[in-house]
Amino acid sequence: MMRQLIIVAALVFATASAFGADETVLEIDIDGMTCPFCVYSLERELGKLSEVQQVMISLKSHKARLILKEGASVDSETLREVVLTAGFTPGEVRDVSDGS
Amino acid sequence: MRLHRRLFGLVALVCLHGLAAHAGGLRSLVVLPLEPGGIVARLQVVGSSSPNNMTVTGTVLYGLTTRQTLIISVPYRDLESGDDGFGYVTGLYRRTIFQHDAPGATRRIAVIGGLRVPTDNNLDPQMGAGLVATMYKQRSEWDFDLLWMEGLGRSGDSARYDVSWQYRLTPSEYPEWGIPTEWQSVVELGGRYAEGSEMVHQLTFGALWVHPSWVFEAGIIQDLNGPDATSFLLGMRKHF
């Protein structure tokens, strides 16, 4: 039973990974991020964008990574505006979909 | 025994005026961002055994715009004397006037102003203004606040200052991705002044547990002069 579950889970993961190959991933540099309690709202506000599937914050590298929904796109100015409204200073926006 | 309780109550009443300005501490006023429409609720308990009293302060911060925040604070005092009740309801407006951000660092200055309205009919409101500054770099955060409240009518003037240093104990280094929880140490020097008595300076040692949407805090407050009281502080904040 356990072996069957593992096989099914592996198949689901492999299928999801294959679909994920076409996803758009953006990164934006953000200045002023200093603590978990402060960046919570930023993560939430970025996640409210209808085009965004997932948001990840890096306090270490001072940036946010956004995985967009399939076929969606967001312009840089919209992202910068969200970051400014949340109280931080936006920097460069990069498309890192190719893993760069 | 009854006389003892009355004497104790009198002592507590004498300290009541000071208590009104006592609420806060442990980095109570900072200039960190709150998004428009964002709400942070804070509950803080400050207790002392000599005199035996406890003040519970509920505070709500509401983000009006990125740079403007409304702060409403209501303390409830529970005294040994039995003279329990709400003190001043404080409404403050905070506006960030300077912000300089860098990778993992920030420097911000805000002006604050507002009213303290008594729930007791024997007192009159206070109105005042002040300055708040926050600096953060690497693992350290410094907060400074200065607030002067001018008494109107029968209310006396009051003032407070706080200088706070927090140091991130863990994690020593942030993970590559994700928002971690943190432990921070806090050392704070503050002062509380109420007209008719000398400024009471206080030293606070504490710790914060910082979660993305919760903060729990605890500290010991020692008067450096005046009543020479030792108090404890427990608090929590929730970002909605």
Nearest to B31 by CA among B63, B79, B2: B63
Instruction: Tell me what the mean pLDDT of segment A43-61 comes to.
Output: 95
| Mean pLDDT of the region B26-51 | 82
Contact across the interface for B179 and A84, Cβ inside 8 Å: no
* Percent with pLDDT over 70 in chain B: 84
Domain of A61 in residue numbering reads as 2-95
Quick one: what percent of chain A has pLDDT higher than 90? 63
Residues in chain B with CB shorter than 8 Å from the CB of A57 are: 177-179
Least confident window among A82-91, B12-21, B74-83, B224-233: B12-21
Q: pLDDT confidence of B6, banded at 50, 70, 90?
A: very low
pLDDT value, residue A2:
58
Q: How far apart are CA B116 and CA B147, in angstroms?
A: 12
Number of structural domains in chain A: 1
Provide, as residue numbers in chain A, all residues whose Cβ is less than 8 Å from the Cβ of B35.
41-42, 45, 85-87
In a domain, A100, yes or no: no
Chain-chain contact of A37 with B106 (C-beta, under 8 angstroms): no
- Per the CB < 8 Å rule, is B174 touching A41? no
pLDDT at B23: 42
Q: Which among A22, A24, A21 has a CA at the least distance from the CA of A73?
A: A24
Instruction: Determine the Cα–Cα distance for residues B135 and B18; give it in Å rounded to an integer.
Output: 29
Q: Kindly determine whether residue A36 and residue B210, on different chains, have CB atoms separated by under 8 Å.
A: yes
Our measurement of the distance from residue B190's CA atom to the centroid of its chain's CA atoms, rounded to an integer in Å, reads 10
Considering the domain boundaries, does residue A50 fall inside one?
Answer: yes
C-beta of residue A97 within 8 angstroms of C-beta of residue A70: no
Using a CB-CB distance cutoff of 8 angstroms, which residues of chain B are in contact with residue A37?
32, 210-213, 215, 237, 239
Q: Hey, what CATH class is B2-239 in?
A: mainly beta
3-state secondary structure of B74: strand
B35 and A60: CB-CB below 8 Å? no
Q: CB-based contact (8 Å) between A45 and chain B?
A: yes
At residue B2, the pLDDT reads 43
ipTM over 0.85: no
* pLDDT above 80 for B1: no
CB contact under 8 A, B178 and A57: yes
The tokens describing A9, both together, are: 């889970």
Contact A88 B101 (CB under 8 A): yes
For residue A49, is pLDDT > 60?
Answer: yes
* Residue B113 pLDDT > 80: yes
Give the containing element (helix H, strand E) for B10.
Answer: helix B2-14
Is residue B30 very low, low, confident or very high in pLDDT (cuts 50, 70, 90)? confident
- Note the Cα B107 to chain centre separation in Å: 20
Query: Which residues from A are below 8 Å from B136, CB to CB?
Result: 34-35
Task: Answer yes or no: do A86 and B136 touch at CB < 8 A.
Answer: no
Facing A31 at nearest CB: one of B102, B210, B212 = B102
Nearest to A83 by CA among A16, A27, A35, A1: A27
Decide if B99 and A41 are in contact by the 8 Å CB cutoff: no
Interval B129-173: pLDDT, tens? 999 999 999 899 999 999 999 988 877 888 999 999 999 999 999
Q: Which stretch of A50-54, B138-142, B182-186, B194-198 has the lowest confidence by average pLDDT?
A: B194-198
CATH number of residue A79's parent domain: 3.30.70.100
When pLDDT is averaged across residues B78-103 and rounded to a whole number, the result is 82
Q: How far apart are CA B62 and CA A41, in angstroms?
A: 13
pLDDT in tens, B49-63: 766 788 888 999 999
Confirm whether A62 is domain-assigned.
yes
Query: A27, A35, A45: which to substitute to probe chain B, counting the most B Cβ within 10 Å?
Result: A35
Q: What does the DSSP assignment read for B224-240?
A: SSTT--EEEEEEEEEE-
User: Distance (Å, rounded) from C-alpha A63 to C-alpha B240?
Assistant: 23
Instruction: Name the most confidently modeled range: A4-8, B4-8, B171-175.
Output: B171-175
- Tell me how far apart the alpha carbons of residues B190 and B181 are, in angstroms, rounded to a whole number: 27
Residue type, B213: S
Can you tell me the distance from the alpha carbon of B214 to that of B45, in angstroms, rounded to the nearest whole number? 16
> Given a cut of 90, is residue B16 above it in pLDDT?
no
Q: Which residues of A touch B105 (CB under 8 A)?
A: 31-32, 34
User: Does the structure show a pLDDT above 80 at B27?
Assistant: no
Domain residue spans of chain B: 2-239
Residue B180: list chain A partners with CB under 8 A.
Answer: 36, 59
Q: Is A86 on the interface with B (CB under 8 A)?
A: yes
pLDDT at B92 over 60: yes
The predicted structure's pLDDT at residue B31: 78
What is the arithmetic mean of pLDDT over B93-115?
Answer: 95
